Chain A
Amino acid sequence: MATGNYGIVRPADVSVNDIEILYSYSETRGETGEVDLINLDPTQVLVPANTPANPNEILGGMYTLKLPTSDFSSKGYYSILIRPKQIRTTIVACGVLSASPDIIGCVFNYNDTAIPQGDKIKFENGNLVGYRIEYLSTDTNATQAKMQNIYRIVTSNNRALAVSQNLNNTSDQVLTYTFDDSSSLVFCTLTPSSAASVKPNILPYIGTAGQEVIITNTFFNPIMVEVEMVEYDHETLAYALYSNQTKSLNDGIYTIYNFNNDIYKQYTLFEVKDLYTGKPLYEVREGLTLPDFTKEFDDIINF
């Protein structure tokens, strides 16, 4: 019985504007060099299917990847990564709410120029819920710029204003945050986040001020599509076996047609003979690079 099951898989109805597509090409599987990834514009190559009876309503789940032949026609292997779109910004601060000091979160600046204009609305109150945050290393000399295997999920986000707050036990003051829609700062709670404490060494980690982060939507699960472009398949091999063929007795041109009777392959048939005795040594079938279009099948049989 399904009652009580909350976790579920659903067909994604993500907008192509929230998707990133990268691809790499290798001629053979044996290539060992670094993978060069190239960006594709999802709005140009990914088309969502619509519900049949409602043309403007996305069906959900089913998308058609339209790979341009200008980039994807070479024989070899194309690895296409389709993943949620990423937004990069910097953590302004980590702190707690004035009204509820057990709620800790990290603070972003809505006006950060690194955030694309079209993505700023995602930083409005509540719109980042469910987004994933990954962290870049604060060590500028690190060989790996990204902090690996660490991510957090945004559980709430609201515009917040920094306020100075007196502490009970000392004369010190600390900076805390209060929800204020006039502010350009965005206070995000994360999970898993620190326990109800502001000890700097407490786990789990939610980031530090000045740290760059990558914010990613979780609207769909990323997939990898490996497209293998090949010269031959069972259909083309069937041309050689079952399709129409002609052999020109005049010039020895042997032509294989596809099932539409278009010229598929052409060869020149000839013999190699001994120069002095004239004795045949080899029968040769040599492919033609430029086809002889006078051997069109329709023209020959209608001669």
Chain B
Amino acid sequence: MEIIKRQRTRENYIIRHIPKRLRDSDIDTNASDYYYGKIPDFKINNDWKLILDDNNQPIKNTIDIDIFLTQDFDDMGIFTNIDFNPLTPYLTTPPTTYPPVSWQVGGVPPLVPMGPFNSFVYGRLPGAPIDFFIPGTLPISGSTDDSNLEAVTSYRSISPYNILLNLAEDITITFDGVTPATNVNSITYAIGANPTNNTTIMNTGVHYITFKNIYVDSTDESGNPIRYKKTNFSSQMPGITNNNAILKALTKHEEYSGIVFKPEVESEVFIDRGIEDIFERHAMLSEIKSTSDIDDNKEGFLST
């Protein structure tokens, strides 16, 4: 535990100033508002009057010391999913107080106000359906190259971009094609959309717009110049829904505590360490502590 030592002089807090109104009169040194040589409990001004806050309350006189608090943390290892019996009926709206109003027993009011429901803050609250844990959807957007344009280009030599012509492999499942917003300056198209009707096409999948006359100059991985038509993409689809998420109780197997996979940078580099002395092979063997180390050191090379 850290020990912080601070020294403060009482003189910094002792009142030495005499108000002008008292200088020409006999000062009652026994009066409750006589402060010379004292440290007042509340802050006073130069006229020895209490300074009041916004609520007309005196402000406590304090000795201020800045401290720095830190937190150490370590990885907690792997959690294990386990089924649980939910509390029913489910809450219909996220609670604003804790315990939720529906938990009231014998008229005990909820005590702790809660902000917008957040599973990080409030845990897996009993009675909370999975909907509470699914974040609201925000449209995402970005820019890319025009390589996806090929997926919606038909074989026609003239006007290869046909509006609402579905070029997906299975047109009953997805829609990959040009959308009606296409004009002389740009091609708009959707990839991976729901093909049911025009509305589902416009609201699902990833939508692209490639500008015909705006080019972006860049370089490839080798530094060679490349050029492509400016393309933006956007999507309004959610990432987590009722269909791909599930609520489980999280618990721990003691034997898995601390077990994590370290981030590793994989690059195909093989290093021939050679044999410098008779202990080299033993030294290499001592570095193998896990099965992945065997893979890294196989066949006489150190693969990193």
Q: Which one, B82, B112, B125, contacts A99 given CB within 8 A?
A: B82
Does A158 interact with chain B (Cβ within 8 Å)?
Answer: yes
A215 interfacial contact with B, CB 8 Å: no
A117 to B113, CA, bound (A): 12
Within 8 A of B (CB), among A1-26: 3-4, 6-12, 14
Q: Which residues of chain B are within 8 angstroms of A178 by Cβ–Cβ distance?
A: 84-85
Give the shortest distance, in Å, between B287 (CB) and chain A (any CB). Answer: 16
Interface bits B1-41 vs A (CB < 8 Å: 1, else 0)? 11111111111010011100011000101000000110111
Besides A11-B69, A262-B16, 15 other A-B contacts (C-beta < 8 A): A7-B72, A62-B67, A63-B66, A102-B255, A121-B122, A124-B122, A127-B122, A155-B252, A158-B124, A158-B250, A222-B1, A225-B3, A226-B6, A230-B10, A263-B16
Residues in B neighbouring A132, C-beta threshold 8 A: none
- Which candidate, B180-188, B195-203, B257-265, is the interface stretch facing chain A? B257-265
Choose one: A120, A182, A218, A223; the contact of B67 (CB below 8 Å): A223
- Cβ contacts under 8 Å, A278 to chain B: none
| Across-interface contacts of A45 in B (CB, < 8 A) | 62
Taken together as a complex, chains A and B put the C-alpha atoms of A179 and B247 apart, in Å, by 12
CB of B254 closer than 8 Å to a CB of A: yes
| Residues on B with beta carbons closer than 8 Å to the beta carbon of A100 | 80, 82, 251, 253
Tell me whether A103 and B262 are in contact (CB under 8 A): no
Q: Give the residue of A61, A156, A232 whose beta carbon is less than 8 angstroms from that of B252.
A: A156
Is there contact, CB below 8 Å, between A262 and B63? no
Contact of A225 among B4, B73, B88, B262 (CB under 8 A): B4
- B213: chain A residues within 8 A (beta carbon): none
Complex interface bits, A165-209 against B, C-beta within 8 A gives 1, otherwise 0: 000000000000011111000010101111110000000000000
A218-247 CB mask vs B (1 if < 8 Å, else 0) is 111111111111111101100000000000
| Residues of A close to B79: CB separation below 8 A | 156
Q: A3-B263, A10-B73, A231-B10 are in contact. Are A69 and B84 (CB under 8 A)?
A: no
Given A69-B40, A120-B99, A232-B11: A161 touches B1 (CB 8 Å cut-off): no
Interface centre among B17, B123, B127 (most CB of A within 10 A): B123
**A221 CB contact (under 8 Å) in B1, B10, B63:** B1
CB-CB under 8 A from A248, the residues of chain B are none
A258 to B15 CA separation, bound complex (whole angstroms): 11
Identify which of B66, B73, B75, B86 gathers the most chain A CB atoms within 10 Å of its CB. B73
**0 or 1 for each of B25-68: is its CB under 8 Å from A? (1 = yes):** 00101000000110111000000000000000000111111111
- In this complex, the member of A4, A64, A181 whose beta carbon has the largest number of chain B beta carbons within 10 angstroms is A181
Q: Which of A3, A4, A220 interacts with B69 by CB under 8 Å? A: A220
- Give chain A interface residues in 268-299, CB to chain B under 8 Å: 290-291, 293, 296, 299
Neighbouring B residues of A189 by C-beta, 8 Å = 251-252, 254
User: Given known contacts A14-B69, A121-B122, A155-B76, is B6 in contact with A228 (CB within 8 Å)?
Assistant: yes
Is the Cβ of A12 less than 8 Å from the Cβ of B69?
A: yes
Does A72 contact B63, Cβ atoms closer than 8 Å?
A: yes
A180 contacts B85, CB within 8 Å?
A: yes
The A interface is mostly helix, strand or loop, or mixed, namely mixed
22 A-B pairs in the complex with CB atoms less than 8 angstroms apart: A7-B74, A12-B69, A45-B62, A64-B67, A65-B65, A67-B65, A69-B40, A120-B98, A121-B123, A124-B123, A158-B251, A179-B251, A181-B85, A194-B254, A221-B72, A225-B3, A228-B6, A230-B9, A231-B11, A235-B9, A291-B37, A293-B23
Tell me, yes or no, whether B244 is within 8 Å of chain A by CB. Answer: no
* Contacts A67-B63, A68-B60 given; does A179 touch B249 at CB 8 Å: yes
Give complex CA distance A72, B284 in Å: 63
The answer on a CB contact under 8 Å between A262 and B41 is: no
Tell me whether B126 and A181 are in contact (CB under 8 A): yes
* In the complex, chain B residues 75-124 whose Cβ is within 8 Å of any chain A Cβ: 75-77, 79-80, 82-88, 98-99, 111-112, 122-124
A181 interface neighbour in B13, B62, B84, B98, Cβ under 8 Å: B84
Task: Determine the distance from Cα of A3 to Cα of B261 in the docked complex, in whole angstroms.
Answer: 12
Q: With the chains together, A70 CA to B43 CA distance in Å? A: 11
Known interface pairs A124-B123, A196-B255, A290-B29; A9-B72 also in contact (CB < 8 Å): yes
Does B147 touch A at the CB level, under 8 Å? no
Contacts of B245-299 to chain A: CB distance below 8 A = 249-255, 257, 260, 262-265
Q: Flag if B82 contacts A68 (CB, 8 Å).
A: no
The answer on a CB contact under 8 Å between A192 and B254 is: yes
| A260 within 8 Å of B (CB atoms) | yes
Contact of A64 among B66, B124, B249 (CB under 8 A): B66
List residues of chain A with CB under 8 Å of any chain B CB. Answer: 3-4, 6-12, 14, 45, 61-70, 72-73, 75, 82, 97, 99-100, 102-105, 117-118, 120-121, 124-127, 129-130, 155-156, 158-159, 161, 178-182, 187, 189, 191-196, 218-233, 235-236, 258, 260, 262-264, 290-291, 293, 296, 299
Closest to A116 in B: B111
- The reply to whether A99 and B83 form a contact with Cβ atoms under 8 Å apart is yes
A182 in contact with B85 given A12-B71, A189-B252 (CB within 8 Å): yes
**In the complex, what distance in Å separates the CA atom of A232 from the CA atom of B60?**
24
Contacts of A11 in B (CB 8 A): 68-71
Contacts A6-B74, A126-B123, A293-B23 given; indicate if A155 touches B257 (C-beta within 8 A): yes
Q: A125-B123, A155-B252 are in contact. Are A6 and B5 (CB under 8 A)?
A: no
Contact yes or no, A299 B23, CB < 8 A? yes
